[in-house]
Chain A
Amino acid sequence: MKGLLMQQDGAAGDLPLDRRRFLVSAAVVGGGMALGIGRGGAATGAGGKPVTGPWGPDAAQGSEFSPWIEIAPDDIVTIRVPQPEIGNGAMTQAAMTVTEELECDWAKVRVAFASIQRNHIEKGVYNVGFQGFFGGHSTEPDRMAHVLQLGASARERLKAAAAARWSVPVADISVKNSVLTHAGSGRTLRYGEVATEAARIVLPAEPARKPRSEWRLIGKSSPSKLNIPDIAHGRATYGIDVKLPGMVHAALMQSPVQGGKLKSHKPEAVLKMPGVRAVIVLDPAKTRGVPAGTKQAATFGFGDCQVQSAVAVIADHYWQARTALEALPVEWDAGSGAQWTDSAKIYAAASELRGKDGARTVKKAGDVATATGKRVVEGDYGTPYCENAMMEPLNATVLVTADGAEAWVPTQDQQQAYWTVIDETGLSPEKVKVHQTFVGGGFGRRTQADDVRMAVAIAKEFPGKPVKTIWTREETFRQGRYRTPITTQYKAVLDDATGLPQMIMGDVAYVGTRPSFMLPLGFSDQPYFNSGIIPNVRLTSANLPITILNGAWRAPCYNSHAFNLETFIDECAVAAGIDPLDYRLKLLAKWDKAWSDTLRVAAEKAGWGAKLPKGEGLGIAISCWPVANMHNNGSVIATVARVSVSQQGELRVRQVDVAFDCGSVANADAVRAQVEGGTMYGLNACLNEEMTVKDGAMVEGNFDEYPMMHMADAPVLNVHFEALSGHERMAIIGEAPTGPIQPAVGNAIFAATGKRLRRTPFRTQDLSWS
């Protein structure tokens, strides 16, 4: 008999299914001492009767002050957060925001994932502000205001309850660190001691929130992420770690050419292999659709989230499923995708469309034909297909029964996942539950829920048992929703007197299955084209729709436009004979001062202007995500890279200095970490990353073919706060740094070697010099 024989059971055994195991514990601020782990069993400290709701396992252990806030008798404050924790600290930020007004003890704050099903049943209680369940924006202003208000309200209700207990005026009660104190008598009560009464109190009017100037946590303190102790002890549950009683495992193979169809397979060849339970065929025609009369509310719709033709093997253990799938004879009909024999053919076909009839004008000012000047700068720039390559391979665990479905998913957007399960099963929303897990990296790949879709499609064919589907790394790589390839043909005519462009023409070609990932961000929204500094502008875009699926890749499209545009601007500076920093400062003279400040700070810190030997160079670039043509908007990032290139062409990025303006920061160290992470992500893209195409299928399958920087390759990375404008926005910060690092490195390579790189990745290009 195959299976597990345990002499002693320490680590094995199913974890409770309770969502509470996803609770994470707080670290003591400053001390960093880990407190206890999540509240395991129902018995833990739960004195009062839990408030229950239709969401079952999400039921509270303490008293609910709102769907977001619960306080238990032992003072533990649990904050339910609709946004996932994908590494950016979004959940910790929500906890900080509540704590600011609630005045609770940070060491007693826990966060938990909010329930999308409850959100549906209670008509949007968590869906506050822009894309309420999306993993991005933890300081979105409407959501922050809402959560601050909930914290203030809970605090005042606690005070009112204490006042009633003591029969004293509320005004005589003060709060600090989860303790209520009566001024006259010095009597105290803990939050947990009055939580039950307080939760029942309805205030006559909502209390005013603190003025921003009185915040003591937000913008003042930098607690590290609440889930780190669980991560560091191997306790954090990612999607791939979900364990359920009776669970079986699936391995998946989709048509290697996207859009292809299964032609034939021989399940009998593997059905007798050890542990194998079933071989399943997946077909888009089996999608049942959202029930009639139900209006779907998927965050991003289903356009990029359809079943792909595929086969899957279900077995008792994952290794058995995978081994059997590898042995399964399968034939595919590649379909029309096979015409794309290699990448070059795709990019050539796309480039052909640029500026032609069909291309759309996205920006027009003056008349580009009127420009005169002796110096003309022209270049063709581009970035290829790239894979998100998050470290946790795609996976999801799904249980479909006769009258319900439940999914455990490492998604970047629970709402998208929820409606996808509904759409695939045809069940009514009340019968569907989605459980958020921790997310082992997203970078956009886990936004559309196509992974959830495939896992549901498999589990639907094997009802009554939870099925965990794990993509191999190779399947994850070759079934991506890739970075949109973008090529741009730029042309400028420089003014004879100033050297600044009298006109710029830019013709873009996207390669995109669907127009949803043809974003002009980092392109036509840039201040160069919107401040009036360049009198004549004409920008167009065209699209080549093909079978290969593209999608969100950290700061979609911006990450390519920033490379193309800022490399071109560097060429203009060189042609004008003006220092690239000064040139950009001149070009931004009519725009927000913050842009120039970021450039100056990054340049100064990097030692800009120093005379360097040949083979060493500094490069600079700037951009802003998202939407740069509004004043005081988004995160402006200026990056300076310092490189050395040996005569043989060996490139080393030595140091990177980043200055930014996102307005204000809520948690400085969390912002710093995101700037570091976004910069490293862009750095790897420009150095190393390209997915290549052969006969319609993706070639690269793993990190041996798609290299990632290692510790040894990482530059010294300095993040500078001096350019922060102090504007009240706390703009989204994880995406913006991914752009400028790429042209900064390319421009530095030019400074070091005289070689101008107009394509990424640099790894494949000859950088030798003499």
Chain B
Amino acid sequence: MAPVRFRVNGKPLSVDADPSTPLLWVLRDHLGMTGTKFGCGIAQCGACTVHLNGDAVRSCQVPLESIADASVTTIEALATNGGAHLQQLWAELNVPQCGYCQAGMLMAAADLLKKTPKPTDEDIDGAMTNICRCGTYPRVRAAIHRAAEKAA
């Protein structure tokens, strides 16, 4: 198979690997971008969440062959894609514990706020299905509400 060309964080690039390789491992292993995390590999945990053509997706479920010409945004570029205020709130509210799930949480939260600038608790429950084993859910919820207030 020919190399697959796509953009990551605005940069055009091309990767030659097995077409079934999940985007998660393309990012982490072939491109050396390890901010996106491996948690389960089966779309359960959301640790691997990135934005694909502007929408949050679980990158462990996206094979390389499906992303020709696509545009991918990862946690490494969230700050320059409208997420800086969220990242700052994450520190202010001391949201992460171990932090491993938080890249995925932030990518999911940024997607939610883009589509629903004033989310209700139900909106948050519906959009934020990422798993956090450290139990940061109350703080993630608080930070999303705070971000919405600040943006208003």
Contacts and interface: CB of A to CB of B under 8 A. Distances in A.
A323 B101 CA distance: 25
A711 B35 contact: no
Contact of B40 (A4, A231, A678, A702): A702
24 contacts: A6-B31, A87-B99, A228-B90, A228-B95, A234-B75, A234-B78, A238-B34, A240-B37, A240-B38, A243-B34, A317-B29, A319-B17, A389-B133, A392-B37, A440-B100, A473-B42, A673-B97, A676-B135, A677-B136, A702-B42, A708-B45, A709-B137, A711-B125, A714-B135
B13 to A, nearest CB: 5
Contact of A680 (B11, B35, B135): B135
B116 to A, nearest CB: 15
Interface string A410-444: 00000000000000000000000000001111110
B62 interface: no
Contacts, number: 235
A717 interface: yes
A393 B16 CA distance: 27
Contacts of A677: 97, 134-136
A708 B12 CA distance: 37
Nearest to A714: B137
Interface size grouping (class) on chain B:
35 or more
A442 B16 CA distance: 35
A388 to B, nearest CB: 8
B137 A473 contact: no
Given A87-B96, A232-B90, A440-B99, A11 B32 contact: yes
Interface in A641-692: 669-670, 673, 676-681
Interface in B1-59: 3, 8-9, 11-18, 20-22, 25, 28-42, 44-45, 47
A234 to B, nearest CB: 2
Interface stretch (A26-34, A103-111, A182-190, A575-583): A26-34
B98 interface: yes
A453 interface: no
Contact of A235 (B35, B41, B131): B35
Interface in B95-149: 95-103, 106, 124-126, 128-141
A7 to B, nearest CB: 5
B80 to A, nearest CB: 11
Interface-centre pick from A12, A224, A233, A320 (highest chain B CB count, 10 A)? A233
A7 B91 contact: no
B20 to A, nearest CB: 8
Nearest to A223: B94
Contact of B91 (A1, A228, A389): A228
A390 B95 CA distance: 17
Given A390-B133, A669-B94, A11 B31 contact: yes
Given A34-B88, A318-B28, A391-B133, 5 more contacts: A232-B96, A236-B99, A319-B25, A390-B133, A710-B128
Contacts of A27: 91
Contacts of A55: none
A539 B133 CA distance: 34
A13 interface: yes
Nearest to A88: B97
A472 B42 CA distance: 11
B41 A472 contact: yes
Contact of B11 (A1, A10, A240, A472): A10
Contact of B87 (A6, A233, A249): A233
A14 interface: yes
A25 to B, nearest CB: 10
A3 interface: yes
B74 A234 contact: yes
A229 interface: yes
Contact of B100 (A228, A229, A238, A320): A238
Given A228-B90, A473-B39, A711-B124, A703 B34 contact: no
Contacts of A702: 40-42, 44
Contact of A86 (B37, B40, B42, B98): B98
Contacts of A753: none
Interface residues of A, number: 78
B76 interface: yes
Nearest to B91: A228
B79 interface: yes
A317 B24 CA distance: 12
A212 B37 CA distance: 42
A470 B38 contact: yes
B37 A319 contact: no
Given A227-B99, A470-B38, A673 B94 contact: yes
A332 to B, nearest CB: 23
Contacts of B95: 228
B13 A392 contact: no
Closest 7 CB pairs of A and B: A234-B35, A680-B135, A440-B100, A87-B98, A87-B97, A234-B75, A231-B99
A2 B18 CA distance: 8
Nearest to B99: A231
Contacts of A225: 94, 96
Contacts of B11: 7-8, 10-11
Nearest to A474: B41
Contact of A229 (B28, B91, B137): B91
Contacts of A472: 41
Contacts of A678: 135
A10 to B, nearest CB: 5
A274 interface: yes
Contacts of A441: 97-98, 100, 133-134
Interface string A375-397: 00000000000000111110000
B13 A6 contact: yes
B138 A676 contact: yes
B141 A8 contact: no
A712 interface: yes
B33 A12 contact: yes
A309 interface: no
Contacts of B141: 711, 714
B29 A241 contact: no
B94 A232 contact: no
Contact of A317 (B25, B34, B132, B136): B25
A237 interface: yes
Contact of A679 (B15, B131, B135): B135
Nearest to B122: A712
A242 B62 CA distance: 23
Nearest to B3: A5
